[in-house]
Amino acid sequence: MQTVGTNSDLHDVGAVNVADAASTNGAVTDGNSWAKMTFDGDLIRAMREVNSLNYLFLDRVQAAPGYPGQDMYGPACAIQRNGKTITFGTVTSKNLVAGYKGPVSAFFGNFPEQGMELNAFYDNTGYVSLAAGRQPMGSTGDSDIAFGLPQGSYRMGWGEVEINNMSARFEILLTKGEDGKYYIYPDSPMLVN
């Protein structure tokens, strides 16, 4: 019997999005060649400041959860960012955001339409996870539910964002390119908590 643990480097064993490697033509492979991408700071503030929903996301609408349990602490809502929809859970008792799900281009301003190689992304933003470094990671358990994929069937990039002494962690679903490297595309699903 063979078992695979969570939160581990699975060396691409059975990864769903590895079987059909994506074309990488035109994708940004040098992070320094692309203008600096910025993370939407209001998204972090809304997760860290009590009553932030009262002044940051007045344009929110109640929505179906983006994944099971996103409405655990209060109703799920949706907002538009960079022309894309982000769903988020709320914490009713504190009137703030519990966590987000949406396409990567909704969270980062200036994300390249043609996609970006994972190391180029880290070079550009500097948002490398202290836990995972630049290593693509496998399942976390919670991400399996949010991404709707079986354990160990995908790879994700991790990162830590800090703006004005407030931080958040994110996970981005990666696509393996035909060159064996991992890529992020504008519609790559992303979780922030």
Give the tens place of pLDDT for each residue, 158-186.
Answer: 999 999 899 999 999 999 999 999 999 99
Flag whether 55 is in a domain: yes
Q: Are residues 89 and 110 in the same domain?
A: no
The backbone region for 190, taken as left when phi is positive above 0, alpha when psi lies in -120 to 50, beta otherwise, is: beta
Q: Are residues 117 and 53 in the same domain?
A: no
Residues of the domain holding 127: 103-192
Rounded CA separation 166/179 (Å): 36
Q: Which of 103, 110, 102 is nearest to 77 (CA)?
A: 102
Flag whether 64 is in a domain: yes
What domain count does the chain have? 2
Q: Are residues 188 and 114 in the same domain?
A: yes
The dihedral built from the CA positions of residue 143, 148, 154 and 156, taken in this order, carries a sign that is: negative
Q: Which residues, other chains included, contact 133 with Cβ-Cβ below 8 Å and sequence gap of 6+? A: none
Q: Are residues 86 and 144 in the same domain?
A: no
Domain boundary among 84, 99, 114: 99
Q: Are residues 128 and 188 in the same domain?
A: yes
Tell me the pLDDT tens digit for each residue of 86-109.
999 999 999 999 999 999 999 999
Pairing relationship of beta strands 77-81 and 61-62 according to DSSP bridges: antiparallel
Pairing relationship of beta strands 38-39 and 84-91 according to DSSP bridges: unpaired
Q: Are residues 133 and 90 in the same domain?
A: no
Q: Are residues 110 and 188 in the same domain?
A: yes
Task: Report yes or no on whether pTM surpasses 0.75.
Answer: yes
Q: Are residues 113 and 175 in the same domain?
A: yes
